[in-house]
Amino acid sequence: MNDRCAPGGSAWRRLLLEAVVICAVAMAVGLSMNYRMVMNAFTGKSVAPEPLRTTTVEVAAFPDPVELEEVRELLAAGALLVDARHGDEYRQAHLQGAVSLPLGELESLLEAFRKEVAADRVLITYCTGFGCPDSFDLGVLLLQAGYQQVRVFEGGFPEWRDAGLPVQGEGL
Amino acid sequence: MIKARLLLFHGSRLLLGGIFLYAGMLKAADPVAFAGQVANYQLLPYAWNYLTAALLPYLEILCGLLLLLNRWVRPATLVLGVLNLVFIAALASLIVRGIDIDCGCFRPDADSHTSPLSALLRDLGIMVLVLTTWFLERRKNREERA
């Protein structure tokens, strides 16, 4: 009677075991499909969408991606962080020391930026990470504008913040 | 089991399976963008957003498939029920913290914006499907064994 009406201990154990098997299979498939992405994320390497990587290699006039560790080394050597996000996002919070140059307003802001920043200075563009294209597009445009050393920090704001590095802004 | 109840069981099983298979496939197609949406919740450390984005879609796909195929219905429903509870808790935390982002429930790059509250209400609806499937399956099993 009991084992007919309500699942007994063994029935629950079996159910939980089956649920665990489902989770394990899903994890194995998910990890094998996205192994590189997950490993890159955990080892601090950039997680860029594949198409962007190939075009970067093929055409020399595209900015090179740069990882967090190298960003810190470049900054120590005098590089400048350039925030490609909207002005509002920059005002809320940005990487310490970054200047704002929103991709959408580049045309109107470029002249002033050129007066402030020398063409041989190393620039590191960033945006909201996770495959956001703005930092890369801004990097291309800055190269075309005559800047010689432009790099893209693809981890962007979230990777920097989550690494515990200093951010500043009104929204903090 | 009376016919109407059997129809209700298969209806909710197929609907639940279909919803999660669809949602999982959309997310699995663009894991980097989905990781960005997980990160918008501001609940996990940086790299864990990617791990979640790598695993979660396949859990949804597998459970959805099992439900559609009418195999391992109870454990798949259990997993989806637990997942749905986690989603509801995450969405509630957004509302409490006043963060208004797209829920990232289906298409990661969608222009449409599903607010946390409407996503939470939708998840409560899905919870009804989970419970319907769970209890009717149990009842069906009992009657088949009797």
Q: A18 in contact with B at a CB cutoff of 8 Å?
A: yes
Residues of chain A predicted below pLDDT 50: 1-5, 51-59
Q: What does the alpha-carbon distance between residue A35 and residue A33 come to, in Å, rounded to a whole number?
A: 6
B40, closest residue in chain A (CA to CA) = A158
Q: What is the pLDDT of residue B36?
A: 87
Which sign does the torsion angle of CA A124, A128, A129, A133 carry? negative
- Which residue in B46, B54, B76 is closest to A158 by CB distance? B46
Residue length of chain B: 146
Q: Kindly tell me the burial class for residue A10, based on how many C-beta atoms sit within 10 Å of its own C-beta (0-12, 13-18, 19 or more).
A: exposed
Residues of A in contact with B36 (CB under 8 A): 128-132
Give this prediction's pTM.
0.74
Which residues contact residue B18 at a Cβ distance below 8 angstroms, ignoring those fewer than 6 apart? Answer: B64, B68
Residues of A in contact with B32 (CB under 8 A): 37, 47-49, 130-131
Cβ contact B103:B91 at 8 Å = yes
Please choose, from the candidates A128, A70, A74, the residue with its C-alpha nearest in 3D space to the C-alpha of residue A97: A74
Q: A11 in contact with B at a CB cutoff of 8 Å?
A: no
Q: Which of A21, A35, A38, A132 to mutate to test the interface with B (most CBs of B within 10 A)?
A: A38
Query: What backbone torsions phi and psi does residue B87 show, to the nearest 5 degrees?
Result: -60, -45
- Which residue in A18, A23, A37 is closest to B50 by CB distance? A37
**Average pLDDT over chain B, rounded to an integer:** 92
End-to-end CA distance of chain A: 62
Cβ contact A63:A74 at 8 Å = no
A with B: how many residue pairs have Cβ under 8 Å apart?
Answer: 99
Q: What is the pLDDT of residue B1?
A: 65
In chain B, domain spans: 3-145
Q: What is the pLDDT of residue B99?
A: 84
Residues of B in contact with A49 (CB under 8 A): 32
Q: A29 in contact with B at a CB cutoff of 8 Å?
A: yes
Q: Which of B34, B41, B46 to mutate to test the interface with A (most CBs of A within 10 A)?
A: B46
Q: What is the pLDDT of residue A44?
A: 76
Span B5-51, pLDDT tens digits: 999 999 999 999 999 999 999 999 999 889 988 988 989 988 899 99
Q: What is the pLDDT of residue A147?
A: 92
Which residues contact residue A169 at a Cβ distance below 8 angstroms, ignoring those fewer than 6 apart? Answer: A90, A91, A92, A93, A94
- Which residue in A4, A25, A26 is closest to B146 by CB distance? A4
Q: Do B59 and A34 touch (CB under 8 A)?
A: no
Q: Is the pLDDT of residue B89 over 90?
A: yes
Q: Do B46 and A37 touch (CB under 8 A)?
A: no
CA distances from A148 to A54, A97, A117, A140, B108 (A): 21, 21, 12, 11, 35
Q: Could you give the ipTM of this predicted complex?
A: 0.93
Query: What backbone torsions phi and psi does residue B126 show, to the nearest 5 degrees?
Result: -65, -35
pLDDT band at B110 (very low <50, low <70, confident <90, very high): low
Residue A94 in 3-state DSSP? strand
Q: What does the alpha-carbon distance between residue A147 and residue A118 come to, in Å, rounded to a whole number?
A: 8
Q: Kindly tell me the burial class for residue B3, based on how many C-beta atoms sit within 10 Å of its own C-beta (0-12, 13-18, 19 or more).
A: exposed
Cβ contact B19:B105 at 8 Å = no
Q: What does the alpha-carbon distance between residue A24 and residue A36 come to, in Å, rounded to a whole number?
A: 19
DSSP one-letter string for A62-75: SPEEE-HHHHHHHH
Q: A155 in contact with B at a CB cutoff of 8 Å?
A: yes
DSSP one-letter string for A4-64: HHS--HHHHHHHHHHHHHHHHHHHHHHHHHSHHHHHHHHTT-----HHHHHHHHH-TTSPE
**Closest CA–CA distance from residue B72 to any residue of chain A (Å):** 8
